[in-house]
Amino acid sequence: LKLNGFNGIRWYRPLKLEQLLYLRSCYPDAKLIIGNSEVGVETKFKNAQYKVMISVTHVPELHTLKVEEHGLHIGSAVRLAQLQKFLKNVIAERGSHETSSCHAILRQLKWFAGTQIRNVASVGGNICTASPISDLNPLWMAIGANFQIIDVNNNVRTTAAKDFFLGYRKVDLKADEILLSVILPWTRPYEYVKEFKQAHRREDDIALVNAGMRMHITEAEGNWIVSDVSIVYGGVAAVPLTAAKTEKFLVGKKLDDGLLDETFNLLKEDIPLAENAPGGMVEFRSSLTLSFFFKFFLYVTHEMN
């Protein structure tokens, strides 16, 4: 069917997951659409042309929002505004130590685009676009979220968020797979999560640098020891970067300001910004990576008391 003015584009809107998977098997190159806040920019301003589009706004399985024993189950087509509302309810109902991640996501969403975009943009659209300046992807990684992926034969596999981003706008999804949902684990007692975003403007602006950090501390012989830590930066490379050497150094250390100098030295090694790095303002952005950690250290020491 060729309609003048419609440029031969096919637009599908399945009502069931099985229909979506069938369409995916017929059109492995089709674009999935939810809020269109990424795809719309690509087609309108970057001359991208997609022949087949599948709107997944009406597939119930992708809209799940469930509280489960091990954490939250968030469907990939859930809108960011819906997620905000859901997280507020969860925080009100659950024990405070369990929801440190929920608080961090909620605070990050406050400065994610503006109301209009959050009303339409989805969790999965943000993840699958894999923008290097996504405000949420470093957080999913730091929090230890898992992604559930379904293929056209209905097989579901789970992968850790930290393994999902493979390169510039490249993710661990095959042509016959789609992102089904995000599993967000509860935090444990004395486990703290914090989000960071620095942009030119507070509202409706993209990040110069952002980050997600998580630390679990345990008491041993009267000292607080770092037992687990995750530090992930966005906006500094093609994919969110984990500060692996810094994490390794911190585990097993006593949590006091004596560890800061060495942490800053290691962070500079873990998160190098070349002089000609895309985005410019290299000195400023490098200092942000250190100051985010300093703020995180202050946050954890404040929260534990």
Q: Using the rule CB under 6 A, is 37 a contact of ligand FAD?
A: yes
Rg (CA), the chain: 20
Binding-site size for ligand FAD (CB under 6 A) equals: 29
Residue 178 contacts ligand FAD per CB under 6 A: yes
Among positions 33, 72, 142, 193, the unique one binding ligand FAD when judged by CB under 6 A: 33
Q: Residues 83, 86, 112, 235: which binds ligand FAD (CB under 6 A)?
A: 112
Amino acid identity of 294? F
Q: Which residue has the tokens 């999560």?
A: 193
Report the alpha-carbon distance of residue 191 to residue 218 in Å, rounded.
9
135 binds ligand FAD (CB under 6 A): yes
75 CB-contact burial (10 Å; exposed 0-12 / middle 13-18 / buried 19+): buried
Contact between 113 and ligand FAD (CB under 6 A)?
Answer: yes
Q: Which of 14, 20, 36, 105 touches ligand FAD (CB under 6 A)?
A: 36
Q: By beta-carbon distance, which residue lies closest to ligand FAD? A: 125
- In the bound state with ligand FAD, the residue whose beta carbon lies nearer, of 180 and 193, is 180
Token pair of 234 as six digits: 């966005």
Q: Which amino acid is at 130?
A: A
- Between 79 and 194, whose beta carbon lies closer to ligand FAD? 79
Q: Quick one: which segment of 122-130, 225-233, 261-269, 296-304 binds ligand FAD (CB under 6 A)?
A: 122-130
For residues 245 and 76, give the distance between their C-alpha atoms in angstroms, rounded to a whole number. 32
The two structure tokens encoding residue 115: 């109301």
**65 binds ligand FAD per the rule CB under 6 A:** no
Residue 157: partners with Cβ closer than 8 Å, 6 or more residues away: 148, 149, 151
Count CB-CB contacts under 10 A for residue 217.
Answer: 22
Name the residues that contact ligand FAD, by CB under 6 A.
Answer: 31-39, 41, 76, 112-113, 117, 120-122, 124-126, 128-129, 134-136, 173, 178-179, 206
